């Protein structure tokens, strides 16, 4: 009798358990969480828009298989372990929220996916870090510049600044200013405040020296949303 029961268990383990394992593994790959943020990026910027405090974030449970119909599934969304009641329901495979967390904080998102019989078939998790607004500095050819660049005496340099990850739709919604050390030499009252023209004095110099130029950007409707960026000019003969 014991041998017969053991034989039956072997048959179950051989034919039923592998099928169960395959089903769970395939379910884990049915959806993938992807996200986007509403923060501003310049048209020529090739990176992803990252969220800052006040950004709207959209998370989508995207099917990884064209045969899967999200309208036939029920989605339960959790933000930082709290259920998002209005976002839950059949066919609701996306979730939108506005972050109020400061830079450096994280949001934890979970989605629970149920089939038509309300059986839990999949769970997916995602972590999103909140960032600070930034500034991009480029030359006239729109080449983004590193923190330190070399220039020659007598050279004229034109710099352009652009907001990055600010909660605006266009650059017209921010204020620009430029400083050399602590002296403001370009501000929002000029025709093209995002641009700085710097003339390096000509003539011979005894040794190379540096100048520090700072770009400052702040949101017109929220002065607390601001960023600063320095660029160091190494001036040589």
- Please count the other Cβ atoms lying within 10 Å of the Cβ belonging to residue 110: 16
Looking at domain 134-236, its CATH superfamily turns out to be Immunoglobulins (2.60.40.10)
Calculated CA dihedral for residues 145, 151, 156, 162, nearest 10 degrees: 10
Domain 134-236 in the same topology as domain 30-129: yes
d(CA 217, CA 172): 11
Q: What is the reported pLDDT for 141?
A: 87
Query: Would the pTM of this model clear 0.85, i.e. be above it?
Result: no
- Please count the other Cβ atoms lying within 10 Å of the Cβ belonging to residue 117: 7
Ordered mean pLDDT values, 10 residues apiece, the chain (237 residues): 43 36 45 97 95 98 91 96 95 97 98 95 97 96 91 90 97 93 68 85 82 94 96 89
Q: What is the reported pLDDT for 161?
A: 96
Listing DSSP states for 63-104 in one string gives ESSTT--GGGSEEEEEETTEE-GGG-EET--EEEEE--PPTT
Q: Are 188 and 176 in contact (CB under 8 A)?
A: yes
Q: What is the reported pLDDT for 17?
A: 36
Check whether domain 30-129 has CATH 3.40.630.30, yes or no: no
Q: Where are the domains of the chain?
A: 30-129, 134-236
Q: What is the reported pLDDT for 65?
A: 86
Tokens of 237: 């003969």
């Amino acid at each position: 009798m014991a041998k017969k029961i053991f034989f039956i268990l072997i048959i179950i383990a051989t034919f039923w358990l592998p099928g169960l394992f395959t089903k769970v593994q395939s379910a884990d790959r049915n959806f993938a969480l992807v996200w986007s943020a509403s923060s501003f990026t310049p048209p020529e910027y090739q990176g992803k828009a990252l969220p800052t405090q006040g950004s709207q974030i959209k998370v989508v449970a995207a099917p990884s298989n064209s045969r899967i119909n999200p309208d036939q599934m029920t989605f339960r969304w959790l933000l930082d372990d709290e259920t998002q009641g209005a976002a839950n329901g059949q066919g609701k495979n996306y979730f939108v929220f506005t972050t109020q967390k400061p830079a450096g904080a994280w949001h934890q998102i979970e989605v629970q996916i149920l089939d038509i019989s309300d059986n839990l078939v999949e769970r997916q998790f995602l972590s999103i870090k909140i960032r600070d607004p930034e500034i991009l500095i480029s030359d006239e050819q729109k080449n983004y510049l590193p923190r330190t660049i070399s220039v020659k005496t007598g050279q004229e340099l034109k710099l352009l600044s652009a907001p990055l990850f600010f909660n605006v739709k266009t650059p017209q919604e921010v204020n620009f200013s430029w400083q050399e050390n602590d002296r403001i030499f370009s501000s929002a009252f000029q025709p093209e405040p995002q641009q700085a023209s710097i003339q390096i004095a000509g003539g011979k110099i005894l040794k190379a020296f540096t100048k520090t130029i700072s770009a400052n950007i702040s949101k017109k409707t929220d002065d607390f949303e601001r960023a600063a960026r320095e660029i160091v000019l190494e001036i040589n003969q």
